[in-house]
Structure 1
Amino acid sequence: MRIRATVATATAAALSAALAVTALAVPAAGADQDDSASTFSNIDVNHDWQDYTVGVDAATKRLIPISATVSDPQGIKSVTVELRRGDDAEKPDAVITAGANCHTTNAITSWCEGLLTANPKVNLHNNALAGLWYLSFIATDGEGNVTRGDGLYDLTSFARIKRTTYMSQTDANPEPVKKGQNLTVKARMTVASWATNTNVPLVGHQVLLQYRQGTSGPFKTVQKIKTDRNGWAAATVKATADGAYRYDFAGTNLTMPAAGFTDYVDVK
């Protein structure tokens, strides 16, 4: 077996960008000389959902489908898919791997998909692991030569693994309310904690109080509020007409977005 020290390229299906592929070892002495590295194309992470984003709950494992078309002059024997958290490939913060299931397209090409398991009780045991994970493919050809395709320097080859957030039912009081009277509108935000395997208050994050007059049409932002130390958002507004209130959270680089269920208010 020879580990290739060559460069191959791949194209991400969603963004049509090049993937720099770098081997991690030099050829062993006396190994067969095969300089035709495997190539990786049509890369798909989580079916390209929301910029390769995956939300993981506090205590429930999540499968992440990752696939690519892999080609080699010697054919494809096997492929492993790897996600790595951390810039240092030698000392990553965490690694998630899975063997891919490959289907032969022709003598030199296979379509391969791996189902990687993100598990808060095993490999996502720390909230600091939320964020950008780098993607690699390790292909073994028909003669046992290995090519490692490492996407560290290509932002098309990654997954965003984020903590799931939750917004409670929006509650507006008093109900019914007289026109011109004050309404207090509340909702509570929590976020998955991978460290404790429970949902905890989402503290100090901006949420949007939104209002829609009547029963149809778009919601409009009324106020921007930060959640308190218990995850609550509360705002006071003037009741003007029948309509629905809700809170909306846009998410962050580490947390998923969430919108609360509406509370429809009758104004007398």
Structure 2
Amino acid sequence: MRRHATVAAFSAVLAVAALAAPAAGAAQDDSGTRFWNIDVNHDRDYTVGVEAALKRTFSVSATVTDPSGVRSVSYELRHDDGAKVRGLMVGSSHCVRLNDTTSFCEALVTADPSVNLRSNALAGLWVITPVAVDGDGNVTRGDGAYFARIKRTTYISQTIATPQQVQKGKNVTVKAQMTVASWENRKNVPLIGHQVALQYRKGTSGPFTTLKKLNTDRNGWVSATVKATADGTYRYDFAGTSLTVATPGSADFVDVK
């Protein structure tokens, strides 16, 4: 059977369950199974954030077409360094027949720091290979450029802006601490040396404006001093990285006299 590759970004499938293997001696043909409308976690960026010690279950789905119909679809997920596979997970879908040649196949899969994400080094891009068995028992592997972004979740503590009441033109100090999920330690740890944006919003509604950018210290804390101009709220915002999830912090209101 021809190996068909669909050139579309494909995202994350994590599962503890073993992949349902194709039948022994399954024939190969030239039918050309195709994978369409792939969706993972309903996330446009193909991202799944995983906490330090909690399982994360999410969906992955695709529309699959083959001239002889679709019997089953599985998804293989691997993380490697170019020479060696560091992580390997698989998940099997439940398929709903749409017509004689097409099925909608969806899987609920689980990421678990205690089972398949025990190392922080596993954060980042994972390669996905969908595997379909058609109505005749033939197997197609989608060997295209399918990628998932499995990231560690991040957190910003309650923003502390002091003083809460200040005269116009006087200084306001804004502090917060950033932490990140450690799959190895099974707890959140300080996020060190990462850039965050100090943002301000006049009053209590409307968009935030970035005032300055600065890096967290060795304990994950960030602190900045700004001039008070009008009543408003301050917060820190983290844009995320290829390994960590973006997150905005909570805002703190300052009354300017």
Range class of TM-score, shorter chain: 0.7 to 0.9
**2:27 touches 2:139 (CA, 8 Å); kept in 1?**
no
**1:214 touches 1:242 (CA, 8 Å); kept in 2?**
yes
1:170 matched to 2:159? The reply is: yes
Residue in structure 1 matching 2:107, options 114, 120, 124:
114
**Structure 2 CA distance for aligned equivalents of residues 32 and 205 of structure 1:** 52
State the match for 1:41 in structure 2.
36
The code of the aligned residue for 1:113 comes to E
Q: 1:32 deviation in Å?
A: 5.2
Q: 1:87 deviation in Å?
A: 5.5
**Structure 2 CA distance for aligned equivalents of residues 87 and 43 of structure 1:** 25
RCO higher in 1 or 2 (8 Å CA, sep ≥ 6)? 2
**Structure 1 CA distance for aligned equivalents of residues 5 and 134 of structure 2:** 16
State the match for 1:246 in structure 2.
235
State the match for 2:124 in structure 1.
131
State the match for 1:93 in structure 2.
86
**Structure 1 CA distance for aligned equivalents of residues 164 and 101 of structure 2:** 68
Residue in structure 2 matching 1:208, options 166, 190, 197:
197
The code of the aligned residue for 1:192 comes to A
**Structure 1 CA distance for aligned equivalents of residues 175 and 239 of structure 2:** 17
Residue in structure 1 matching 2:222, options 233, 245, 266:
233
Q: 1:35 deviation in Å?
A: 2.8
**2:71 touches 2:137 (CA, 8 Å); kept in 1?**
yes
**Structure 2 CA distance for aligned equivalents of residues 77 and 35 of structure 1:** 17
Q: 1:240 deviation in Å?
A: 2.1
State the match for 2:206 in structure 1.
217
Q: 1:216 deviation in Å?
A: 2.5
**2:4 touches 2:141 (CA, 8 Å); kept in 1?**
no
Q: 1:219 deviation in Å?
A: 1.3
Q: 1:33 deviation in Å?
A: 6.2
The code of the aligned residue for 2:97 comes to T
**Structure 1 CA distance for aligned equivalents of residues 32 and 121 of structure 2:** 35
State the match for 2:66 in structure 1.
72
RMSD: 2.1
Residue in structure 2 matching 1:8, options 4, 11, 32:
4
Count of residue correspondences: 244
Structure 1: state its 5+ residue gaps.
Answer: 15-27
Deviates more, 1:124-133 or 1:102-111: 102-111
**2:164 touches 2:253 (CA, 8 Å); kept in 1?**
no
